Amino acid sequence: MLDPILNQRLKKPLSGAAKQLIKRGATADSVTVIGFVIGMLAVPAIIYEHYILALCLILLNRLGDGLDGAIARETSPSDAGGFLDITLDFIFYSAIVFAFICANPADNAIAGSFLMLSFMGTGGSFLAFAIMASKHGIDSPNYPQKSLHYMGGLAEGFETILVLCLFCLFPSQFVFIASVFAAVCWLTAIIRIWLGYHTLVATKGD
């Protein structure tokens, strides 16, 4: 929901940092992979209840996610890079929830599993519409720099990261936070399915 606003405000500082990294030989894909590996280190940190360490690793992962896109825009964005970025993001989001389930399965298993199921709703509707949008030439005005169509919603990247950070700051409230965000994710998925279906029906004659 807030991604377009944040992307616009962070564009300039990320661009400056990206230019410095490019001078040192960094590529968008290498930053994507390094950021993913750093983020995945949060999984054992969470399992062993080192939540502040996990929070720092999650934030570093998100910094890498911002920098890889900035580097791509300064060089040459590619479909391969976009594919790698979105795939690793989805794995990362679910892995953090999985780690909290492992840390306290007795209390967190049901809420965490329900949240991961809701990720399938938001992610599936997002990617399915992106495929159809590409086929019909449907533009994404809020995310013109992205390599695939970005369908907005109540639960986007910023909201997801905020929730993952809240898990680390308030691990005892995991069930409540996960349950509320799962409901937001399902609402997002329902809206995306409804809007996506009717948008494609309207383009049937194209």
Tokens of 22: 């490019």
Check residue 14 and give its pLDDT: 81
Question: Does the predicted TM-score (pTM) go above 0.75?
Answer: yes
Tokens of 29: 């894909």
Check residue 146 and give its pLDDT: 55
Check residue 93 and give its pLDDT: 96
Check residue 3 and give its pLDDT: 56
Q: Which of 136, 138, 168 is nearest to 151 (CA)?
A: 138
Please give the DSSP secondary-structure letter assigned to residue 27: -
SS3 49: coil
pLDDT per residue, tens digit, the chain (206 aa), is 655 666 666 778 888 888 899 998 899 999 999 999 999 999 999 999 999 999 999 999 999 999 998 998 888 878 899 899 999 999 999 999 999 999 999 999 999 999 999 999 999 988 888 888 878 777 665 555 555 555 667 778 889 999 999 999 999 999 999 999 999 999 999 999 998 898 888 886 55
Please give the DSSP secondary-structure letter assigned to residue 1: -
Handedness of CA 42, 143, 6, 125 (dihedral sign): negative
Tokens of 5: 């606003």
Which residues have a Cβ under 8 Å from the Cβ of 4 and sit 6 or more positions away?
142, 143, 152
Looking at the 3D structure of the chain, how many domains does it have? Answer: 1
CATH code (residue 134): 1.20.120.1760
Give the 3-state secondary structure of 36-83.
Answer: HHHHHCHHHHHHCCCHHHHHHHHHHHHHHHHHHHHHHHHCCCCHHHHH
Check residue 152 and give its pLDDT: 65
Place of tokens 């369908």: 151
SS3 98: helix
